[in-house]
Amino acid sequence: MHPAFSIIFFTITSGLGYGLLFFSGLYVVLDRTGDITESLFSPLVVSSIIGLTLVALGILSSILHLANPKNAWRAFLRFRSSWLSREGVFALLTFPVVFAFIYTIIATETNSVTSKTTAIILMIISLLTVYSTGMIYACLKTIRAWNSPLVPTNYVLLGLLSGALTMFAILNYYNQQSELLLTLIMELLCLAFITKAIYYYFIGKPSELSIKTATGLSSRKVRLLHTGESSKNFLMREFGFDISVKKMLLLRFCSILLMVVMPTLCLITQPASFHFILIAVICNFFGLLLERWLFFAEAKHVVNLYYGREA
Amino acid sequence: MRLGLVIDLDTCVGCHACAISCKEWNTSGTTGSLSDQNPYEKDPTGVFFNRVRSYEIGDYPHNKTVNFPMSCMQCEDAACVTVCPTGASYKRKSDGIVLIDQDKCMGCNLCAWACPYGSRELDRESGTMKKCTLCVDRIYDESLPEIDRQPSCVMTCPSSARHFGDFDDPNSNVSKLTRERNGDGLMNELGYNPTNQYLPPRLANNITIEKKKKNIVGQVKDWANELISR
């Protein structure tokens, strides 16, 4: 599949934004004493605002991808059948929820029922939106590398991971240390690495589909004689993207290095300085960029079979 | 009604007339225009509802060229309609034709990703997705003589490799052809239940190359030549 930068940027920033919102909510939910208001007031407000800004940037970027953006508002209309529509509705619902969340932590005690309920709603809607983003791709039976529950799992885990790292950086900026968040980050780093490894194993399996099954001319040898085109058409541009195995392996290595290994190294010595945490966040972001680029570049659409290529 | 096409892979000669006639009709039809980019320059490209590819099956001397026209299969369980977030893509209950409302499409490409047959193409000029309409603006047009109320590609095919009809009617020409010639849909394993059916190419008789019997002198010569060449 052609890796479009607008979609790559959209999935990463919105994943990061929702991760941040999820952990902002988690802090309020886990707070029992109510004295969190004193020390955590500003970092929580800042993290929710940054989270919401990233979500908004992601949505803007996804609109840039549309060929006919004036009809973008219609994308909310098919909630019952389309994952893209569901993603849009959840993304839109996030805005009032975040405003309510910020209002409750400013105006009420964080251990009040109102603020906890709002925080739980915020956490649920964050997870739902990222899950829906993953399902947009996972529901396509035409792309074998995407049609798997591993895809939404990866989206959610990587969104949470990048959100947790950024949350850790914000807390550190306000001189707050959080053992709990650090443990969660380490666990997420492990989980993200393991599911990504399983995903790479899954897409490495040879495909059962071939030019024979696609054309139904299964009895004998089938090969493409002529595409019938004098230059690239829409299908070739959209689905005909190809990378060499060597380049792919190198990029996979770099993405895992930046996304998982570098943050682990930055955070392994505690207490980590703000600069180290910032490096971890930045490395993770660029690792994600590579990971998402590969997610598109490695996926092969079945239309390729008709052009004598693999799928 | 379940309207669709039967495509005869045995008789298609790969002339691309269906693709051209389709473009000619539909560029001024309900989903027109079908824009072209650089039509007279180095890399011409544009929207087509029909694409014809050619394959070779088997090895010489038992080989055969199979020309393979593909357009929208008007699937029973059309994934392109399910994934559409705007409701621009829809399948008509009355005749099963899958259409795109050009006023609602936002050009997100998701339906083209969901289609395994490559039958949806984005028009760069209008920014909307376009696809075969089964000439919906023609097959119901009562101002045309009845014989002309067929899709443009079917009308134009010089080798009668394309047939149009109702698959729900067991006595229609398309149902009969599919039955008699073991027609089948493409990529049934994906579960989209394509309506269009493809008739497999008939197995051609092998062309036998008879060896002419030579007289005794000729046989000796051949034997000598073989001996030397060893």
What does pLDDT average to over chain A?
Answer: 91
Q: What CATH number has the domain bearing residue A94?
A: 1.20.1630.10
Q: What residues of chain B lie within 8 A of the CB of A140, using their CB?
A: 79, 83, 113-114
Cβ separation A226–B86 shorter than 8 A = no
Q: What residues of chain A lie within 8 A of the CB of B113, using their CB?
A: 1, 140, 142-143, 238, 301
How confident is the model at residue B78, as a pLDDT?
Answer: 95
Size of the A and B interface in Cβ pairs below 8 Å:
173
Could you give the CA distance from residue A119 to residue B157 in angstroms, rounded to a whole number?
Answer: 64
**Residue numbers of the domain that contains A17:** 5-306
How confident is the model at residue B200, as a pLDDT?
Answer: 93
| Chosen from A59, A81, A234 to mutate, greatest number of chain B CBs within 10 A | A234
Bridging pattern class, strands A222-226 and B51-57 = antiparallel
Could you give the CA distance from residue A206 to residue A140 in angstroms, rounded to a whole number?
Answer: 18
Q: Kindly state the average pLDDT of the residues A6-10.
A: 95
- Pick out chain B residues at pLDDT < 50: none
What's the number of domains chain A is made of?
1
Longest Cα–Cα distance in chain A: 75
Alpha-carbon torsion angle B6, B9, B13, B19, nearest 10: 40
Cβ separation B107–A68 shorter than 8 A = yes
Amino acid at A134: G
Summarised one tens digit per residue, pLDDT across range A277-295 is 999 999 999 999 999 999 9
Summarised one tens digit per residue, pLDDT across range A96-108 is 999 999 988 888 7
State the nearest Cα–Cα gap between B51 and chain A, in angstroms.
7
Chain-centroid distance of CA B168 in Å reads 21
Q: For chain B, what's the residue count?
A: 230
Cβ separation B117–A226 shorter than 8 A = no
Residue A156 has pLDDT above 80, yes or no: yes
Question: Has residue A64 been placed in a domain?
Answer: yes
Could you give the CA distance from residue A81 to residue A237 in angstroms, rounded to a whole number?
Answer: 28
Q: How does DSSP classify residue A69?
A: G
State the nearest Cα–Cα gap between B229 and chain A, in angstroms.
34
- Of B6, B24, B29, nearest to B139 by C-alpha is B29
Summarised one tens digit per residue, pLDDT across range A208-263 is 899 999 999 876 789 999 999 999 999 999 999 988 999 999 999 999 999 999 99
CA dist list (Å): B65 to A4, A305, A309, B97, B136: 37, 17, 19, 31, 32
Could you give the CA distance from residue A195 to residue A154 in angstroms, rounded to a whole number?
Answer: 7
Question: Has residue A311 been placed in a domain?
Answer: no
Q: How many CB atoms lie within 10 A of CB A44?
A: 28
How confident is the model at residue A32, as a pLDDT?
Answer: 60
How confident is the model at residue A206, as a pLDDT?
Answer: 87
How confident is the model at residue B203, as a pLDDT?
Answer: 76
Cβ separation A223–B200 shorter than 8 A = no
Q: How does DSSP classify residue A260?
A: I
Summarised one tens digit per residue, pLDDT across range B161-174 is 999 999 999 999 99
What phi and psi values does residue B198 have, to the nearest 5 degrees? -115, 130
Q: What residues of chain A lie within 8 A of the CB of B126, using their CB?
A: 68
Could you give the CA distance from residue A2 to residue B6 in angstroms, rounded to a whole number?
Answer: 33
Longest Cα–Cα distance in chain B: 83
Question: Has residue A28 been placed in a domain?
Answer: yes
- Residue of chain B nearest A240, judged by CA positions: B118
Could you give the CA distance from residue A170 to residue A159 in angstroms, rounded to a whole number?
Answer: 16
CA dist list (Å): A276 to A136, A157, A280, A310: 35, 22, 6, 43
How confident is the model at residue A38, as a pLDDT?
Answer: 58
State the nearest Cα–Cα gap between B174 and chain A, in angstroms.
19
Q: Is the CB of residue B82 less than 8 Å from the CB of residue A83?
A: no
Question: Has residue A30 been placed in a domain?
Answer: yes
Cβ separation A68–B106 shorter than 8 A = yes
Q: Which domains does chain B have, with CATH numbers?
A: 3-229 (3.30.70.20)
Please, which residues have CB within 8 angstroms of residue A308's CB and are 6 or more apart in sequence?
Answer: A211, A223, A224, A227
Structure tokens that stand for A162 in this block: 């990048």
How confident is the model at residue A104, as a pLDDT?
Answer: 87
Residue B204 touches partner A, C-beta closer than 8 Å? no
Alpha helices in chain A (DSSP H): 5-30, 36-65, 83-107, 113-138, 150-173, 179-204, 211-215, 234-239, 245-256, 262-268, 274-297, 303-306
Q: How does DSSP classify residue A206?
A: P
**Candidate from B42, B86, B114 with C-beta closest to A74:** B86
How confident is the model at residue A33, as a pLDDT?
Answer: 57
Q: How many CB atoms lie within 10 A of CB B205?
A: 6
Q: What residues of chain A lie within 8 A of the CB of B65, using their CB?
A: 225
State the nearest Cα–Cα gap between B100 and chain A, in angstroms.
14
Q: Is the CB of residue A170 less than 8 Å from the CB of residue A50?
A: yes
Q: What residues of chain B lie within 8 A of the CB of A6, using their CB?
A: none
Cβ separation B79–A301 shorter than 8 A = no
| Chosen from A61, A79, A146, A225 to mutate, greatest number of chain B CBs within 10 A | A225
Could you give the CA distance from residue A121 to residue B16 in angstroms, rounded to a whole number?
Answer: 57
Could you give the CA distance from residue B103 to residue A222 in angstroms, rounded to a whole number?
Answer: 41
- Chain B, window 105-124: residues with a beta carbon less than 8 angstroms from a chain A beta carbon: 105-110, 112-118, 121-122, 124
Could you give the CA distance from residue B160 to residue A243 in angstroms, rounded to a whole number?
Answer: 41
Summarised one tens digit per residue, pLDDT across range A68-95 is 999 999 999 999 999 999 999 999 999 9
Q: For chain A, what's the residue count?
A: 311
Residue A268 pLDDT class (50, 70, 90 cuts): confident
Could you give the CA distance from residue B216 to residue B218 in angstroms, rounded to a whole number?
Answer: 5
Cβ separation A77–B201 shorter than 8 A = no
- Residue of chain B nearest A299, judged by CA positions: B113
| A132 SS3 class | helix
Q: What residues of chain A lie within 8 A of the CB of B14, using their CB?
A: 228
State the nearest Cα–Cα gap between B42 and chain A, in angstroms.
9
How confident is the model at residue B209, as a pLDDT?
Answer: 67
**Candidate from B70, B84, B128 with C-beta closest to A78:** B84
